[in-house]
Every structure is written in C-alpha cells, then in structure tokens.
Structure 1
Amino acid sequence: MVSRNTSDSIEAYLKGILEDHEIIEIRRAEMAQLFNCVPSQINYVINTRFTFQRGYIVESKRGGGGYIRISKVQISDQHYFLEQLMNSFGTEISEANAFGIIQKLFEEKIVTENEGNLMLSALSKNTLGISQIENRLRARVLHGFLERLSYEKKE
C-alpha cells in the first residue's frame, strides 16, 4: 500500500466528494478533527490544491457558523474559461501554479497531452532558469499560450 501524507489524504477525500457533488461545504474544525490535524493544515490543502487554476472556486465565511465552500469550475465556454485563467495571475506566476493551469487545460481537453508537455517544458525552471525574472517571463509566455488558445478553434 502506498503511504500518503495527511495533506494528500485530505485532498483525496475532498475530491472524492466532489466527484458526486458540484459544490461541497465543509467546516474547517470538523475536517481537522476527522483527519486528526490542526485546522491550518486544512487551510493549506485548500489554498494550494483547490485553486482556480486547478479548476475550483473556494469561498469562505468566518465565524461561528462559518464554512468553506468548494465548487468545481463549470466550463461552458472555452474562450471565457481561458480569459478567466489569464486574469487569475498577473505579471508573475510560479512554476507550480503554471503547471496547475496546464494540467487543467489537459483535463478539460483544451490541449492534448503532447501540447501540454511542450508547454510544461517551455515554462519549466530548467528552461527559464533566470532567477530574477523567471516568474515574470513564465507569466508572459503563459499569457501568450492562453491568448492563442482562446482564439484557436479546436475540432
């Protein structure tokens, strides 16, 4: 059996529920109790693994009756979705977030596996390894990819 860390288990649990439901509401304290961890670990998982770039919208309400609502992004219009992706990051983007966007493009069949792999290669730290401007250069290249995809008719 493959050993999973707590963050992986939390992610798998939430994604399992999201397979059957479009929207879920959780309470951070209850999740922490379920996984025997601190509530901040629930925040970490949600903030890093349930991002718009990965196909999720997260809303939260603080306080006694607070909740965290996670919903899958509904892609009804490819152009609108790509535009939203472009607006989700500014002049800089990390390698991890760029890779998350490319993974979502592949999952939604906007790019093929080969196209996605080419994009990953072009945006990787190994390719762009100019430390001071790497994230800015990556953002510019990814914006270019997304802009081009938004005007390309896929058949």
Structure 2
Amino acid sequence: MSNKNMSDIIEQYLKELLEQEDVIEIRRSEIAEHFNCVPSQINYVINTRFTVPKGYKVESKRGGGGYIRIVKVNLFNHHHSFQNVSQVIGTKLSESEGIAILDGLYHSEFITKRERDLLNTVLKLNGVSRSVEEQILRASLMSDLLERLGYEE
C-alpha cells in the first residue's frame, strides 16, 4: 500500500465498502478523520473517481446530519440505456470516464474485448492536445458510438 497515494487508498476503501453493498452512506468528516486527511481530499476522490460514467451515482445532504450516498449503478441494463448514458456524458468526457464507459459496455456484453480495446485506442486521442477541446471531441465520439449501438438493440 505504500506505493499508493492517499486518493488511491480512499478510493480503494470506498470501493471495498461498495463490494459489500450497492449503496453506502458516509460522512465526509468521519472518512477524513479515519484517513487523517482534510475533508476536501474526500471531495476530490468522490468527484473524480465516483462519477456516473464510471458507474456510480453520488447524492449528498448537507448540514449537521448530512451524508454522502454513493450508489453503484449499471448504466447498460435497460432498453434505453444508451440514450441515458449519452445524456449523462454531456459535452465533455475525460479519458478515464471514456474507458469506464467502454468497460461497462464490455462487461454488459454489448461489445467484445477486441472492440473495447480498439475503441480505447481511439478515445485516447493520441496527438490531440490535452485540453477542453479533447474532452469535447471525446464526448462527441462516445455519444455517436452509443447512438449507433442503440440502433442494434
């Protein structure tokens, strides 16, 4: 574990909790105290590693009795799932979110391992500068892909 940074450790901890249950409720301050870090570190992990494209829905309630609820979701188990994912993507998509969506498509048997690997290569957008334009292009490509897959349902 010494090779991992604090964000990786917190992510692994939360994912282990999610393996036991599909829904967990946590208090940011309690998790921060458990890992001896600042609460904003917990926010960072949740905002970057527990996103809808990666298969998680996050809800929060602020205030004294507040909590953060993380729900594990399968984006590809409904007839209209491709439209829903396209709407979730919005106008920007990071490389890690794109890979997570392709992994979901593969594990739900909508695409083969070979197709996933080929599409991963395309979504890396090698040669395109790391910028907002890259995320916009990736989102557009993924939306087109999901729309096309929706025709096959």
**What TM bracket, shorter-length normalisation?**
0.7 to 0.9
Displacement of 1:74 in angstroms is: 4.0
| Runs of 5+ unmatched residues, structure 2 | none
1:45-93 Cα shifts (integer Å, max 9, x gaps)? 1111111101111000011100000011145734332222100122332
Secondary structure in structure 1 of the residue aligned to 2:58 = strand
Q: Does 1:85 align with 2:91?
A: no
- Counterpart for residue 17 of structure 2: 17
**1:131 and 1:83, CA in 2 relative to 1: closer, same or farther beyond 3 A?**
same
Kept in 2: contact 1:58–1:69 (CA 8 A): yes
- How many pairs align? 153
Displacement of 1:123 in angstroms is: 1.5
Query: Hey, what's the Cα distance between the residues in 1 that align with 2:78 and 2:145?
Result: 14
Query: Hey, what's the Cα distance between the residues in 1 that align with 2:138 and 2:74?
Result: 26
| Runs of 5+ unmatched residues, structure 1 | none
- Percent identity, aligned pairs only, is 49
Displacement of 1:2 in angstroms is: 5.9
- Counterpart for residue 122 of structure 1: 122
Kept in 2: contact 1:95–1:124 (CA 8 A): yes
Displacement of 1:99 in angstroms is: 2.2
**1:77 and 1:31, CA in 2 relative to 1: closer, same or farther beyond 3 A?**
same
Secondary structure in structure 1 of the residue aligned to 2:120 = helix
